[in-house]
Amino acid sequence: MKILVPVKRVPDPATTIRVAPDGAGIATDNVKWVINPFDEIAIEEALRIKEKQGQGEVVLIAVGQQSWQEQLRTGLAMGADRAILVRSDAPLDPLAIARVIAKVAENEKPELIIIGKQAIDDDSNQVGQMIAEMLGWPQATFASKIELNGDRCSVVREVDGGLATVAFPLPAVVTTDLRLNEPRYASLPGIMKARKKPLNEIAVDSLGVDLTPKLKIKVLKTPEKRQAGRKLGSVQELVAALHNEAKVI
Amino acid sequence: MIGSSRDVDFFNLDELLRPEEKMARDAVRAFVSREVLPQIEQHFAHETFDRGLVAQMADLGIFGANLHGYGCAGMNNIAYGLIMQELEAADSGLRSFASVQSALAMYAIYSSGSEEQKQRYLPEMARGKLIGCFGLTEPDHGSDPGGMETRARRDGRGWVLNGVKRWITNGSIADLAIVWAKVEEGVTGFIVERGTPGFATSDIHGKFSMRASITSELVFEDVRVDEAHHLPNARGLRAPLSCLTQARYGIAWGAIGAARTCYLCALDYVKSRKQFSRPLAGYQMVQRKLVNMLTEITKAQMICLRLGQLKDAGTMRPEQVSFAKRNNVNAALKIARTARDMLGANGIVNEYPIIRHMLNLETVNTYEGTFDVQTLILGRDITGENAFD
Kindly report the nearest CA distance between residue B315 and chain A, in angstroms: 24
Number of Cβ pairs < 8 A linking chain A and chain B: 63
Looking at the domain assignment, is residue B8 inside a domain?
no
What pLDDT score was predicted for residue A218? 87
Query: A59 lies in a domain?
Result: yes
The residues of B annotated with a catalytic role in the active site are 368
Interface of A with B in 117-156 (CB under 8 A): none
In the prediction, which pLDDT does A16 show? 81
Q: For residue B5, what pLDDT is reported?
A: 59
pLDDT of residue B60: 96
Distance to chain A for B35, nearest Cα, Å? 11
In a domain, A242, yes or no: no
Find the Cα–Cα–Cα–Cα dihedral B238, B242, B247, B250, rounded to 10°.
150
- Cβ separation of B27 and A14 shorter than 8 Å? no
- B143 CB-contact burial (10 Å; exposed 0-12 / middle 13-18 / buried 19+): middle
Judgement on whether residues B151 and B213 belong to the same structural domain of the protein:
yes
3-state helix, strand, coil in chain B (%, to 5): 55, 15, 30
Residue B324 to residue A249: CA distance in whole angstroms: 66
Q: How many C-alpha atoms does B313 have within 13 Å on its Cβ side? A: 9
The continuous run of DSSP H or E covering B58 comes out as: helix B52-60
B77 and B33 belong to one structural domain: yes
**B348 inside domain:** yes
For residue B1, what pLDDT is reported?
Answer: 28
Per CB-CB distance under 8 Å, the chain A contacts of B84 are none
| Confidence (pLDDT) at B2 | 32
Same domain, B56 and B160: no
Q: At what angle do helices B52-60 and B19-31 cross, to 10 degrees?
A: 160
DSSP code, position A147: E
Three-state DSSP state, B15 = helix
CA B367 to CA B255: how far, in whole Å? 13
Domain contains B73: yes
Nearest Cα residue in chain A from B65: A188
**Within a domain: A248:** no
Burial class (CB in 10 A: 0-12, 13-18, 19+), B277: exposed
**In this predicted structure, what is the pLDDT of residue B79?**
98
Please check whether residue B34 lies inside any domain of the structure. yes
Residue B368 forms part of a structural domain: yes
CATH code for the domain of B268: 1.20.140.10
Residue B6 domain flag: no
Are B373 and B329 within one domain?
yes
Kindly state whether residues B370 and B251 are assigned to the same domain: yes
Q: Are B362 and B225 in a shared domain?
A: no
Euclidean distance between CA atoms A10 and A103, whole angstroms: 23
- Mean pLDDT of successive 10-residue segments in chain B (389 residues)? 64 92 94 96 96 96 97 97 98 98 98 98 98 97 95 95 98 98 96 98 97 98 97 96 97 98 98 95 98 98 98 98 98 98 97 98 97 97 95
* CA B226 to each of CA B85, B157, B165, B175, B187: distance values in angstroms, whole numbers, following the listed order: 38, 7, 20, 17, 17
Residue A169, domain member (yes or no): yes
Give the whole-angstrom CA distance, residue A120 versus residue A9: 10
Q: Among B9, B23, B28, select the one facing A77 at the smallest CB separation.
A: B23
A71 close contact with B: CB closer than 8 A: no
For β-strands B158-169 and B215-226, DSSP reports them as antiparallel
> Which residue among B14, B26, B61 places its CB closest to the CB of A189?
B61
Together in a domain, B105 and B172: no
The Cα–Cα gap between A85 and A63 comes to 6
Domain that holds residue B74: 13-126
Alpha-carbon gap, residue A4 to A60, rounded angstroms: 6
Cα gap A48→A51, rounded to integer Å: 5
- Average pLDDT, integer, range A30-43: 93
Residue at a domain's end among B202, B229, B256: B229
At residue A215, does pLDDT exceed 80? Answer: yes
Kindly state whether residue A238 falls inside one of the protein's structural domains. Answer: no
Residue whose C-alpha is closest to residue B335's, from B366, B306, B360: B360
Instruction: Give B20's contacts in chain A (Cβ within 8 Å).
Output: 73, 77, 191-192, 194-195
Asked if the C-beta of B58 comes within 8 angstroms of chain A's C-beta atoms, the answer is no
- Number of domain units in chain B: 3
Q: Which burial class, exposed, middle or buried, applies to B162 when counting CB atoms under 10 A from its CB (0-12, 13-18, 19+)?
A: middle
- Residue A246 covered by a domain: no
> Contact A192/B14, CB-based, under 8 Å?
no
pLDDT tens digit sequence for A44-79: 999 999 999 999 999 999 999 999 999 999 999 999
SS3 letters for A81-129?
CEEEEEECCCCCCHHHHHHHHHHHHHHHCCCEEEEECCCCCCCCCCHHH
Residue A26's pLDDT is 86
pLDDT tens for each residue of B81-114:
999 999 999 999 999 999 999 999 999 999 999 9
B59 touches chain A (CB under 8 A): yes
How open is the CA angle B292-B316-B22, to the nearest 5 degrees?
60
Domain residue limits at A145: 2-221
CATH assignment of the domain containing B147 = 2.40.110.10
* B1 inside domain: no
| CATH code of residue B116 | 1.10.540.10
Is B20 in the A-facing interface, judged by CB distances under 8 Å? yes
Q: Which residues of B touch A187 (CB under 8 A)?
A: 27, 59-61, 73
Share of chain A above pLDDT 90, in %: 80
* Residue B261 sits in the same domain as residue B207: no
Minimal CA separation from A116 to chain B, in Å: 20
Q: β-strands B176-183, B132-135: how paired?
A: parallel
**Which chain A residues contact residue B27 at CB under 8 A?**
77, 185-188, 191
Chain B residue numbers with beta carbons less than 8 Å from the beta carbon of A34 are: 26
E strand or H helix at B120: helix B115-126
Minimal CA–CA distance to B368: which of B137, B111, B140? B137
Containing B153, the helix (H) or strand (E) segment is strand B151-155
Question: Using CB atoms, which residue from B5, B14, B60 is nearest to A185?
Answer: B60
Q: How far is A76 from chain B (nearest CA, A)?
A: 11
CB contact under 8 A, B61 and A34: no
pLDDT in tens, A110-162: 999 999 999 999 899 999 999 999 999 999 999 999 999 999 999 999 999 89
A55 in any annotated domain? yes
Domain count, chain A: 1
B260 and B242 fall within a common domain = yes
Final residue before a domain boundary, out of B99, B126, B153 = B126
- Dist CA A180 CA A117 (whole Å): 11
Within a domain: B388: no
pLDDT at A216: 87
SS3 track for B203-239? ECCCCCCCCCCCEEEEEEEEEEEEHHHECCCCCCCHH
Contacts of B374 (CB under 8 A, 6+ apart): B322, B323, B325, B326
pLDDT value, residue B3: 34
Q: Assess B22–A contact: CB distance below 8 Å, yes or no.
A: yes
B143 and B89 co-located in one domain = no
The answer to whether the CB atoms of B60 and A191 lie below 8 A apart is no
Pick from B132, B134, B135, B125: which is nearest to B62 by CA?
B125
The helix/strand/coil state of B184 is coil
A170-197: per-residue pLDDT in tens?
Answer: 999 999 999 999 999 999 999 999 999 9
Mean pLDDT over the full length of chain A: 94
- Asked if A32 and B7 come within 8 Å (Cβ–Cβ), the reply is yes
Check which CATH number belongs to the domain holding A140 and give it.
3.40.50.620
Query: Which ipTM value was assigned to this complex?
Result: 0.87
Nearest to A192 among B31, B60, B74 (CB): B74
Give how far the C-alpha of residue A180 lies from the chain's centroid of Cα atoms, to the nearest Å: 14
Domain termination site, one of B197, B229, B261: B229
- Per CB-CB distance under 8 Å, the chain B contacts of A192 are 20, 73-75
CA B68 to chain centre: 20
